[in-house]
Amino acid sequence: MENNIDYLKAVIIEDEPESLHLLENLINAGELAVVSGVTSNPEQALGLIISLNPDIVFLDIKMPGKNGFEILDDLRKVNSIHPYIVFTTAYDEYALKAFEYSAFDYLLKPVEPKRLADTILRGINNRNQGIKQKTDQLLGNLCKLMFRNISGIVFIDQNEIIHIEAEGNYSVFHLTNKRTETVTALLGKVEEQIDHDKFFRVSRSFIINLEFLKKINTKQLHCVLSCNGIDVRCDIARDRVNALIAKMKKR
Q: What is the residue-wise DSSP string for 139-157?
A: HHHHTEEEEEETTEEEEEE
Do the domain assignments include residue 3? no
Give me Rg for the CA atoms of the chain.
21
Does the predicted TM-score (pTM) go above 0.75? no
Report the half-sphere exposure of 48 (CA within 13 A, side-chain side): 22
Q: Are residues 133 and 202 in the same domain?
A: no
**What pLDDT shows up at residue 96?**
57
**What pLDDT shows up at residue 47?**
96
Q: What is the CATH number of the domain that holds 75?
A: 3.40.50.2300
**What pLDDT shows up at residue 98?**
57
Contact 188, 156 (CB under 8 A): no
Furthest-apart CA pair in the chain: how many Å?
A: 71
Contact 33, 113 (CB under 8 A): no
Q: How many domains does the chain have?
A: 2
- Domain residues for the domain of 151 are 147-249
Do the domain assignments include residue 33? yes
Q: Are residues 135 and 217 in the same domain?
A: no
Q: What is the CATH number of the domain that holds 217?
A: 2.40.50.1020
**What pLDDT shows up at residue 101?**
47
Contact 24, 69 (CB under 8 A): no
Do the domain assignments include residue 2? no
For 132-148, letters b (16+ CB in 10 Å) and e give ebebeebbebbbebebe
pLDDT (tens digit per residue) in 76-110 = 788 788 899 898 887 766 655 555 545 688 888 88
**What pLDDT shows up at residue 102?**
54
Angstrom distance (rounded) from CA 241 to CA 247: 10
Q: Are residues 18 and 122 in the same domain?
A: yes
Which of 140, 171, 202 is a domain's end point? 140
Q: Give pLDDT < 70 ranges for the chain.
A: 1-5, 92-103, 133-143
Q: Are residues 162 and 220 in the same domain?
A: yes
**What pLDDT shows up at residue 1?**
47
**What pLDDT shows up at residue 148?**
87
Containing H/E element for 199?
Answer: strand 199-201
**What pLDDT shows up at residue 151?**
86
pLDDT (tens digit per residue) in 113-129 = 999 999 999 899 888 88
**What pLDDT shows up at residue 78?**
82
Q: Are residues 63 and 114 in the same domain?
A: yes
DSSP 3-state assignment of 24? helix
Query: In a 10 Å sphere around its CB, with 0-12 CB exposed, 13-18 middle and 19+ buried, how is residue 170 labelled?
Result: middle
